[in-house]
Chain A
Amino acid sequence: MLPTIFYIGLSVLLFVIGVCGVLLRRSTLMVFMSIELMLNSANLALVTFANQRQSIDAQIMVFFVITIAAAEVAVGLALLVMIFMRKKTTNIDTMTTLKG
């Protein structure tokens, strides 16, 4: 049996590493991977609290988060392939089409 704060601390660390990835990297693929890392760290916190309170609902929520993440990755990577075909680069600074 370990203190809850160990798991939450690890989850926070992983989340912040993911935030750094989104802020620092210029490749869209890397930004995407960092977002996956952040989703995972949030899942870890949810599972920790599910165990602490012995309530199954948080585990169900993690299950749904994983489902939505799978859908999101499929659509996101399809969009990424489309953009790469047009612009021949994955650099996020070149994606300025929606700029007013």
Chain B
Amino acid sequence: MELVIFVITAIVAIIGAIAMLTSRNAVHSALFLLLNFGAIAVLYLLLQAPFLFAVQLIVYAGAIIVLFLFVVMLLGAERDEEDANPIRWQAPVAITMAVLLIGEIIWVLVRQSQDSLARVGSSDSDFGSPAQIAQALFTTHLLPFEVASFVLLTALIGVVVLHQRQN
């Protein structure tokens, strides 16, 4: 059963990613990316990460994709690109490098790590529950948590400053 869900979700994720890469319209690309994020959220559920499932849907699917769509529509930049690609040999070289990268990573994984065939999946323990995450987040990782809040504040101020200078 888990295998069926995994295979369907993985196919949806890969189709979403490839369609994002190939579609000419930036709005369509953003929506395919949304599909991909949703599929990855389902995989988080399979991997016992319900908290990250919720965060993925809220932050990525909810906030980031909406921001992308806003910008694309605001700029009217849906179709603004690739009439004349100045570097002709770029595409074949890029694809060759990508295939090489896949082969390399798979080789390292299979060759180097003996436990890469160990099993993962859901069990009955409460691993990954929001309570456990909060426990670790507010004790061991409290300093990174505070630093993250500063980073968010800085980003906020940065965006405001950028748009003020414009006017």
Q: 8 Å CB contacts to A: which residues of B9-40? A: 10, 13-14, 17-18, 20-21, 26, 29-30, 33, 36-37, 40
A25-B81 contact in complex given A62-B52, A78-B159, C-beta closer than 8 Å: yes
Chain A residues with CB under 8 Å of B90's CB are 23-24
Pair A75/B158 contact, Cβ less than 8 Å:
yes
Q: CB-CB contacts of A8-41 with B at 8 A, as 1s and 0s?
A: 1110111011111101111101101110110010
Residue numbers of B with Cβ under 8 A of A are: 2-3, 6, 10, 13-14, 17-18, 20-21, 26, 29-30, 33, 36-37, 40, 43-44, 47-49, 51-52, 55-56, 59-60, 63-64, 67-68, 71-72, 74-75, 77, 80-82, 85-86, 90-91, 94-95, 97-98, 101-102, 105-106, 109-110, 115-121, 125, 127-128, 132-133, 136-137, 140-141, 144, 148, 151-152, 154-156, 158-159, 162-163, 166
Given contacts A10-B13, A71-B151, 19 further A-B contacts (CB under 8 A): A2-B2, A2-B121, A4-B118, A5-B117, A7-B43, A12-B109, A14-B13, A16-B102, A17-B14, A17-B17, A40-B36, A50-B47, A60-B141, A66-B59, A71-B155, A74-B155, A84-B75, A84-B77, A93-B86
